[in-house]
Every structure is written in C-alpha cells, then in structure tokens.
C-alpha cells in the first residue's frame, strides 16, 4: 500500500476509536519497547479500542485494506510476540478492562481481555473466590495476553495453566466478525473446541476480546517453606515426596539456585540470607487448602522432618506470617527481575517430564560449560511442573555483545538435550519471534503443515500478527 492510501486507512481507524484511543508521539514508546530488549517495535498507529465493537470495526477496516494487525496486551511477554512493525497497526487491549460478570455460584468470571491479571485476582477475592493464575508480571499483564500465550506461572501444579482455566472466549476473527463463545460450562461437547485454537496462538489467529474463566474456592490455610538442599536430584526427590504426601494441596514447587540467591542479595533491595547456612539449591514450596481446619502446618512440618531424617533437606524455614511468606516469594520474583545484573543472559524456557528435570539440569549445565568455560547457568522456576528457566549468564567480565551473538549456538545445545529427553523448547513463554526458527527446526513437518493450514483457514490474508510463531 502506498503512503497516501495507508494514511487514509489509518485516518479511518483513528476515527473508530476517537482521540482517547489513539496513542501518539513519545506516549507510544512503551508500546514499542520489548521486555528482553532484543527487539524494537514500530507501527503506523497505536490504537486502543474501548469495546468489542470498536475492535471488530478496526479489524474489518484492516482486512479490507490488507493491513497487518499486531495485537498487544500488557506487553510483558518474553518472546517478542507483541512486537509490532511499521507496515501495520498495533492494537492494544488495555482500555477493554471491565469485569463483565462474576457468577460466584457457577465459580466463573467473565472479563474483558485488557483486564490486568492482578485486578482479576482481586475481583475474585472480593467474591470469596480464587482466580489462581499467578506470575511475576501480574501487576501489568492482561488476561487476553495470558490466554494468548497460555501463561503458566507458580500455581500450574495445582490449577493448570491459562488454557485449563478458560471456559469460553469472545474473539474478533481476522475478517472482523465477532465469535461469541462466552459459555460458562464445564461440560460442552458440541463439535470442535474452537476456543483452544486461540489460546496460545499469540495473536496470530484473532483478537481475544473477553473470556469466561474458572474460579475456585479461596484458600483458608496456606503454608510456605524455603528449604536448602545439596543436589538437584534431592530437590526432585523432595518434590515426589511432597506431592505424594499432600496431593492436590501442593500448589507451588519452585527451584532457586544459589547463584540466584547471591545475585538477589547483591543487587536486590532489602534482602537477607534466607537460611542460616548456604546451599547449592533451594526449593520454595507452598501448600494450601480451602478448608479452615486442615492443619496444614503439621503436615508440612511432618514432611520436612521426614525429608531431613532421610538427609534430603539440609535446612529450612517455614513462614510464620503472611509477611514472611511474601518475603520468601519476593526472593523468587527477584530471581527473574535481577538476572540482567549478571550481564548478557541467553534464555531458555523449557520443559521436560518431571522425572527428567534433574538429568536435564546436570547434562545441560555440563554441555554449556564445556562449550564455554566460565558460563554461569542460572536454572530456576517451576520444576514441579517440569518447567525450567535455564538461563545462561555470560562469564564474569566477558563482553556482553560478543556473548549474546552466541544465542543460537547455545539454544541448539540446550534444546537438543531438551528434545532428547522428550521435552519442549517453549514451556510457558511461547514462540513469538524469539523461538520461531527453533520451532521450525524442531517441530515435525506434519505438525508445522497442520499449523499452517489452521492459520490459512482462519487468516487467509495473513494479516494477524504476521511473522510470529510460524
């Protein structure tokens, strides 16, 4: 499209959302920033519709003009999926942030896509319910983005990832039609489950404008412990015991490496050494129940005493108050936030069967250290569901830019091991731009071909988040 025609289309798009829905000049900068600092966005316009109707009208105009659309939520994604390009328009859902309905008896909430995750959690709590999706970016990521990336986070073990929490969706399709699939049903076997196509599609098949989500009883007892361990195998053995002993009550099981604690103590604000002695590995465990008389504290103490007798756990602390509990989780969150302080960091968001987590960490750490002596593996995360953030920090004092040029080389070493163990090269962050070539490398040809057929069927003009995922 020539620039005169593009200007005409953009003018019509701006008229749909009005001045409140147009972001211009320096105000647009945050929409073009990308979390990892790997990409820089651009766009003909940044548009913020206030309703599904406005979003649908925007998409219809773009479709008629064959203008690319780049959907965006809170822009906290870690794979470059929300990076826009100057050949199209960025549609940000942030103004569509209403909770449309909360049905406490049905244990469901219907929210617009731009609803910030923490707001959704608060709305559930106000109705004595729990919306369990929880992740470090919850103060700014949006439920539409969470569903589009099929976000995971710290409660997947008990409640599943975003996909498992969705009962229904409302979606603007790439031609501007609105599909209303906002059903609050746990059982519904009426043909293909269309919502599943859009969940985890990273904006390549349509724009999610609202969702009906599952709620749960609010936890009445929560117990949290941080434990120090010698070996990664011991961490996973502890996990097996904790899961067997507490069943569904185990809501979180997170891995923290010593390098992460050192980093947080050095660069974070107001942190203290969490245990009396230092340990190579730490496990952050949380158990919870909606019963008020479950005596979880005794259960956790019993579990830990047995693990210490078996010489699995060397030391540990159980949070005595909500403030202490928050402090333990603050360490976990700071692990991710502070990692850039160690210089260049090559990312891997992988999963393997839980039974292979220890083997993966040992093998992958050895392989990358052999390739680059002094490289600093920084493995952390949701090992209770097999998800390891296997990030690789540059050797101390190395040149950051030179190190980061080896991104693909280290991805290949790590991902080959992941795949040999039956794992996945993207556990929870998605493919976006960052892993598109890796997906093309590792996915079976039939898998890729089928994905392309789905894309072509729903978005034959190829205007919905082009260049992402496949």
Interacting residue ranges for ligand FAD, rule: CB under 6 A: 35, 71-78, 81-82, 93, 113, 135-137, 141-142, 144-146, 148-149, 151-153, 202-203, 207-208, 336-337, 428-429, 432, 465, 468
Work out whether 336 is an interface residue with ligand 2HG (CB under 6 A): yes
Q: Which is nearer to ligand FAD, 31 or 282 (CB)?
A: 31
Residues 366-395 that bind Zn ion (CB under 5 A): 381
Q: Which is nearer to ligand 2HG, 44 or 83 (CB)?
A: 83
308 bridge partner residues: none
Q: How far is the CB of 207 from ligand FAD (least distance, A)?
A: 4
Work out whether 381 is an interface residue with ligand 2HG (CB under 6 A): yes
Where is 128: in which H helix or E strand? none
Binding at 391: pick from Zn ion, ligand 2HG, ligand FAD, none (beta carbon under 5-8 Å per type): ligand 2HG
Q: How far is the CB of 381 from ligand FAD (least distance, A)?
A: 7
Q: How far is the CB of 117 from ligand FAD (least distance, A)?
A: 8
Binding-site member from 134, 146, 204, 391 for ligand 2HG (CB under 6 A):
391
Closest CA to 364 of 418, 428, 283, 425: 418
Binding-site member from 389, 415, 435, 455 for ligand 2HG (CB under 6 A):
389
Characterise 462 by phi-psi region: left (phi > 0), alpha (psi -120 to 50), beta (else): left
Q: Which is nearer to ligand FAD, 79 or 314 (CB)?
A: 79
111 bridge partner residues: 99, 211
Work out whether 415 is an interface residue with ligand 2HG (CB under 6 A): no
Count, residues near ligand 2HG per rule CB under 6 A:
7
Q: If you ran DSSP here, which 8-state letter would residue 134 be given? A: B
* Binding characters for ligand 2HG, 284-323, by CB under 6 A (x = yes): ----------------------------------------
Grouping H, G, I as helix, E, B as strand and the rest as coil, residue 229 is strand
Binding at 203: pick from Zn ion, ligand 2HG, ligand FAD, none (beta carbon under 5-8 Å per type): ligand FAD
Q: What is the DSSP code string of 356-419?
A: GHHHHHHHHHHHHHHHSTT-EEEEEB-GGGTEEEEEEEPPTT--HHHHHTTHHHHHHHHHHHHH
Helix, strand, coil % in the chain, rounded to nearest 5: 40, 20, 35
Q: Are 63 and 18 in contact (CB under 8 A)?
A: no
- 139: Cβ contacts below 8 Å, ≥ 6 apart: 116, 117, 118
Residues that bind Zn ion (CB under 5 A): 381
């Amino acid at each position: 499209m020539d620039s005169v025609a593009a200007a005409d289309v953009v003018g019509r798009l701006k008229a749909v959302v009005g001045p409140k829905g147009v972001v211009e000049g320096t105000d647009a900068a945050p929409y073009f920033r990308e979390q990892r600092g790997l990409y820089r966005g651009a766009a003909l316009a940044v548009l913020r519709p206030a309703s599904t109707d406005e979003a649908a009208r925007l998409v219809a105009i773009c479709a008629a003009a064959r203008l690319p659309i780049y959907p965006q939520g809170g822009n906290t994604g870690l794979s470059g999926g929300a990076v826009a390009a100057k050949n199209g328009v960025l549609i940000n859902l942030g103004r569509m942030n209403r909770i449309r309905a909360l049905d406490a008896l049905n244990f469901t909430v219907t929210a617009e896509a731009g609803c910030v995750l923490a707001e959704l959690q608060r709305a559930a709590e106000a109705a004595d319910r729990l919306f369990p999706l929880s992740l470090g970016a919850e103060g700014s990521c949006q439920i539409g983005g969470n569903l589009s990336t099929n976000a995971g986070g710290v409660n997947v073990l008990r409640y599943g990832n975003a996909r498992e929490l969705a009962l229904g969706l409302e979606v603007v399709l790439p031609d501007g039609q609105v599909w209303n699939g906002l059903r609050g049903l746990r059982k519904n076997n009426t043909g293909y489950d269309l919502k599943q196509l859009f969940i985890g599609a990273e904006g390549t098949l349509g724009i999610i404008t609202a969702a009906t989500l599952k709620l749960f009883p609010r936890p009445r007892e929560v117990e949290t412990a941080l434990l120090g361990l010698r070996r990664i195998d011991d961490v996973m053995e502890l996990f097996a015991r904790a899961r067997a002993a507490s069943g569904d009550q185990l809501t979180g099981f997170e891995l923290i490496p010593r390098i992460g604690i050192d980093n947080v103590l050095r660069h974070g604000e107001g942190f203290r050494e969490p245990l009396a002695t230092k340990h190579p590995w730490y496990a952050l465990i949380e158990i919870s129940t909606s019963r008020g008389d479950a005596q979880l504290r005794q259960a956790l103490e019993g579990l830990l005493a047995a693990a210490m007798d078996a010489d699995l756990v060397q030391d540990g602390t159980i949070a005595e108050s909500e403030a202490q509990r928050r402090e333990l989780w603050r360490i976990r969150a700071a692990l991710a936030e502070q990692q850039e302080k160690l210089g260049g960091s090559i990312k891997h968001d992988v999963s393997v069967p839980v039974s292979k987590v220890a083997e993966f960490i040992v093998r992958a750490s050895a392989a990358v250290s052999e390739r680059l002596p002094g490289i600093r593996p920084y493995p952390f995360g949701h090992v209770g569901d097999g998800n390891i953030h296997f990030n690789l920090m540059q050797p101390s004092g190395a040149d950051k830019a030179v190190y980061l040029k080896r991104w693909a080389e280290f991805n290949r070493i790590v991902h080959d091991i992941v795949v040999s163990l039956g794992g996945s090269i993207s556990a929870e962050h998605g493919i976006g731009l960052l892993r598109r070539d890796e997906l093309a490398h590792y996915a079976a040809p039939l898998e890729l071909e089928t994905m392309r057929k789905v894309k072509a069927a729903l978005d034959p003009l190829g205007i919905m988040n082009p260049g992402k995922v496949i």
